[in-house]
Structure 1
Amino acid sequence: MGVRRWYPLTNRETLDSFIWCFVTLGVCLNMASHGLTVGFAAILLPQLRRPDSIIPIDASSGSWIASILGFALVVGNFICPTVMANYGRRAANIVSIAPMLAGWFCILFATNLHTLLVARLFQGISMGMSASLGPVIIGEYTSPKNRGPFLASISVTIATGVLIVHAMGSFTSWQTTALVCAIIGFIDLLIVIYSPETPSWLADQGRYDESRKIFRWLRGDGEEDELQRMIDSSIIIRESKAEVSSSETFFQKLRRNVVYFRITIRKREFHKPIFIMMHIYTLGMWSGANLLAAYTVDIFENVVGKGSNIPLLVITMGVHRIISNTCAVFVIRKVKRRTMLVATVAINVCAYLSIAAYSYGKQHGMLPFDHPMIGIILINIHIFSIATGTVPLPFIIAGELFPLEFRSLAGGISVLFLSANLFLSIKTAPLLFLKIGIHGAYLIYACIVTYCLVVAWFFLPETKDRTLQDIEDEFRGRPLSPEEVKSVQSLHSLMMYKTDRRCSQPVI
């Protein structure tokens, strides 16, 4: 039994912590752009509704400004897997920052609605790329025991982004706020340029010496077993692919890819993580984080009251979210993923139902006692559940579920559901608030989140403190032997599966 250490970290442990913080900072600042971009709508729309606005808007155009991000995310999803698989995680991270910077500068000089929509479209493309890319990079950079906290730091930076843009937008113009956001994006670009490529991608490309060097630079010499397993698996896969592709024509290659895809989609280690992440992303998008970021003023005016100090409440909410996110980073090291998911989502559903009941009673004069603090407390309980669970956990789980072989493709497919649900939740919110009120909309949201939680409870495996290879083996049902790893990459074995049913059954 080991002895709990009370003395300070060694020099190597301190260096490891610094390295992990540096390489993940580039990812986290990129993910912070999600908070800056989504939260920007909450300060942009009220300023554009003013009589003296240079860009007048109505309810429909305002909802498009807020929700077009989700539509554009789909484009980023299609771009990211190709760049990430062929040119590397670092290159994909750099590419994802470019449209975000372009979007902020378009906003800075916008004089009409069309320019704003194009700018938000650029930003949505960037968000679509980084949403699938960020968890993968952090998952490949960090060790299993530290992976959870570093993945949870994504939600802290997103919350920080929301707070920055809300605080600045409460006291400055939207143009000044856009300039500060562009500066943050430029700093992120510099950090990513000086960050290394991930060891997993280098091994997948056959650059084993570089992979070993970066792996040991990131983690030291204490995890050689994981490094060797990763390299051995990559060697077998690359050799089998080379055997197949060395003598085939274009049409043979196309046919092989079609057959390979048809076999791949039936593999449990491919479709089960996607199915799970479909529901986890849906849960995260409908849990209320984006609604509170994009329609902060509207929600506070309906639940708390129009006479309240809205800028102060918005800033207080942002601070609370950061504190809760930071606490979650430490809690995640101790608590299992499934336990934390159930606990925080249960609080989220209770908060939805409580706010729905309170706002309904407030609207119809059914409350025996009313005070603005009741609404403030309920909203902050909702924020607590979002910050500690429904925002960080989807990114953590996404960074742990997908096998290396399918990580780019599976991540891109699953993020499509993030895109669709982001668009639907933000676009439909004003209409739902108008037609059925806050209480009706929150009841619908509670039902969606509850359904997703039930699905996750039955299908999501526990991933805390486990290597990515162990998680992949659990989805598959058992580890693959070297011969099986080679056979699943072989065109001959794929075609034999189709033509000879008496052959040994492949792992699906």
Structure 2
Amino acid sequence: MVEGVNYRKQRVPPFLRQSLAVSGVVLYMIGTGANIAFPGVLLQQLREPDSALQLTLEHESWIASILGLSLILGIATAPFSLQRLGRRLTNQLSTLPSMGGWALMVAAATPETLLISRTMQGFGMGLQAASAPVSIAEYSSPKLRGAFLATIAFSFATGMLIAHVFGTLLYWRSAGIACGSVYLLSFILVSLSPETPPYLASRGKFNQCRKSFRWLRGYYHDSEKELEVLLNSQKMEVTEVITGKSRLQNWVETAKKPEFYKPTLIMVFMFVMFQISGMTVVPSYTIPMMDEVTGRAIESNTSMLMVDVVRFVTSIMACVVVNKLNRRTVLFLGVIISVTSLFLAAVLLYLRDLGFITEEYRWIPVIPTLTYIFGKTLGILAIPWAIAGEVFPLAYRSLGSGISGMILSIMFFVVVKTAPTSFKEIGVNGTFLVYGICIAICGAFLYFLLPETKGKTLYEIECHFKGIKSDRADSGEKDKMLELETMEGG
């Protein structure tokens, strides 16, 4: 027993408290999914002859891709914000430019105004892209962390589905109001949650850390042991930081540490694979892509909603699968399904173009295409966000999340901006082949780089990258870590 602690049960169980803390971030990520997918319906409506705004093809590609550029600004700001202002305030601030962007879009009268509104949305998304996995991981207990982190994939899929449904049923301005309202709910829920315990401990606010930790995890014997491990490890970090070295020297030393560069390299490959798999291209250009895949045998909006439903149902499945199976198993299962399906869809499209598939069966490529959506949603969408919240040590979590997020945003812009040209020059079949090859290459590197993180505490993962065995950590920590798996509800 840890002395001085009253081991009492709370009226609200830890699971519900952690769910409340995570829900504000989850709602924001629903808004992110809507941001990414909204051009799929917005551009379709603006192509109508009587549209209030007339766009060129160049306008269209910039409206879909400019999120990637503005993401860079948000992500560049994120490490400072996460480290200086904290996770909670960063989450709150990230909702403001996003709400402003949707409001400006609803009132837009020119293409330039649309571009400005998308830029504001992207800046908020950049802050949140770095903050979301960190916040969810730090709010969650080890046994719930996988499921909570998998809700990021669910949130993306839900937001994309909402944007496409609203955009199909409503005029785009009305649909924008509905999508933008998600951020107001996010702001309210984030404001009801405390700051994360690891951040408070990293800033030397140990009493506030205890209060926040116990609010989230309850007063249980095993959770108190984890709390003491957290506090003791951060007390040592605070002591080590006071060295009198310059900031440049600290950065150089940080870059040489395996617990920093190994997770960073892993996340670079993760997020390159995430984007090159078509994760943001498909929702942005669903209708033209599916028109090509189905040979226009299926009505455009129907094929778009088919993709959204498969993605949505799979993301629900991923929340369960990620918490039950090893992270590596889920990731590489998704990689294998995605690569196989992309290659098969490309071959079928080539055969159809050559006349080997009759007009009656021209829709056949839709089967491997939907299988590809299933595979990438299950593994390539869900696992990178789960891993992003786990692999970085607390001392470098803000910086590492910022660097990997920067790669994510650059790839977002490059892949989405070049997609229309790629579809035009090499066709959807050629684009599928390129995506499949790139996924296979990234997956091969990750097979050798990525450790298993399921069921481990954040401190145990940090020890792995440092090359420290649990029995070489501070005296008694091994027994404490082993007992964390039996935590009650927390």
TM-score (norm 1): 0.88
- Change beyond 3 A, Cα 1:106–1:133: same
Q: Does 1:458 align with 2:458?
A: no
Shift of 1:341: 0.9
Residue identity (%): 35
> Which residue is equivalent to 1:352?
342
> Which residue is equivalent to 2:483?
none
Structure 1 distance, partners of 2:247, 2:473, is 23
**1:51-79 superposed Cα distances (whole Å, 9 cap, x missing partner):** 11222112221011000111111101111
Q: Does 1:94 align with 2:92?
A: yes
Shift of 1:99: 0.8
Aligned partner (choices 311, 316, 320) of residue 330 of structure 1: 320
> Which residue is equivalent to 2:238?
238
Q: Does 1:20 align with 2:18?
A: yes
**1:325-380 superposed Cα distances (whole Å, 9 cap, x missing partner):** 11111111221111111111110001111111112222232225752552332222
- Change beyond 3 A, Cα 1:16–1:370: farther
> Which residue is equivalent to 1:313?
303
> Which residue is equivalent to 1:409?
399
Aligned partner (choices 103, 107, 112) of residue 105 of structure 1: 103
Structure 1 distance, partners of 2:237, 2:314, is 43
Structure 1 distance, partners of 2:12, 2:293, is 47
Q: What is the 5 A alignment of 1:104-503?
A: 104-220=102-218, 221=220, 222-242=222-242, 244=243, 256-367=246-357, 370-371=360-361, 373-478=363-468
Letter aligned with residue 185 of structure 2: I
Structure 2 distance, partners of 1:371, 1:14, is 56
Shift of 1:42: 0.2
Shift of 1:239: 3.3
Structure 1: where are the runs of 5+ without partners? 1-9, 246-254, 484-508
Tell me if structure 2 keeps the 8 A contact 1:138–1:150: yes
Tell me if structure 1 keeps the 8 A contact 2:298–2:363: no
Per the alignment, in what secondary structure is the counterpart of residue 478 of structure 1? coil
Per the alignment, in what secondary structure is the counterpart of residue 395 of structure 2? coil
Q: Does 1:63 align with 2:61?
A: yes
Runs in 1 of length 4+ with deviation above 3 angstroms?
10-14, 239-242, 479-483
Letter aligned with residue 270 of structure 1: F
Tell me if structure 2 keeps the 8 A contact 1:236–1:482: no
Shift of 1:134: 0.3
Shift of 1:125: 0.9
Letter aligned with residue 93 of structure 1: N
Tell me if structure 2 keeps the 8 A contact 1:291–1:429: yes
Per the alignment, in what secondary structure is the counterpart of residue 391 of structure 1? helix
> Which residue is equivalent to 2:28?
30
Deviates more, 1:202-211 or 1:391-400: 202-211
**1:124-170 superposed Cα distances (whole Å, 9 cap, x missing partner):** 11111111110000100101111000000111111010001101111
CA-based RMSD = 1.9
- Change beyond 3 A, Cα 1:325–1:13: farther
Structure 2 distance, partners of 1:341, 1:224, is 33
Structure 1 distance, partners of 2:389, 2:253, is 24
Structure 2 distance, partners of 1:14, 1:366, is 63
Shift of 1:261: 0.9
Structure 1 distance, partners of 2:170, 2:359, is 37
Structure 1 distance, partners of 2:424, 2:189, is 44
Letter aligned with residue 432 of structure 1: S
**1:162-217 superposed Cα distances (whole Å, 9 cap, x missing partner):** 00110111121110111011211111111111111000011111211111111112
Shift of 1:14: 7.0
Q: Does 1:41 align with 2:39?
A: yes
> Which residue is equivalent to 1:493?
none
- Change beyond 3 A, Cα 1:372–1:24: farther
- Change beyond 3 A, Cα 1:234–1:102: same
Per the alignment, in what secondary structure is the counterpart of residue 194 of structure 2? coil
Structure 2 distance, partners of 1:241, 1:460, is 28
Structure 2 distance, partners of 1:433, 1:11, is 58
Letter aligned with residue 337 of structure 1: R
- Change beyond 3 A, Cα 1:445–1:60: same
Tell me if structure 1 keeps the 8 A contact 2:137–2:149: yes
Structure 2 distance, partners of 1:451, 1:402, is 23
> Which residue is equivalent to 2:486?
none
How many equivalent residue pairs?
A: 464
Shift of 1:224: 1.8
Tell me if structure 1 keeps the 8 A contact 2:345–2:366: no
Deviates more, 1:134-143 or 1:207-216: 207-216
Structure 1 distance, partners of 2:352, 2:362, is 11
**1:255-276 superposed Cα distances (whole Å, 9 cap, x missing partner):** 6111111111011001110101
Shift of 1:236: 2.2
- Change beyond 3 A, Cα 1:239–1:104: same
Letter aligned with residue 359 of structure 1: L
Structure 2 distance, partners of 1:115, 1:146, is 42
Letter aligned with residue 107 of structure 1: M
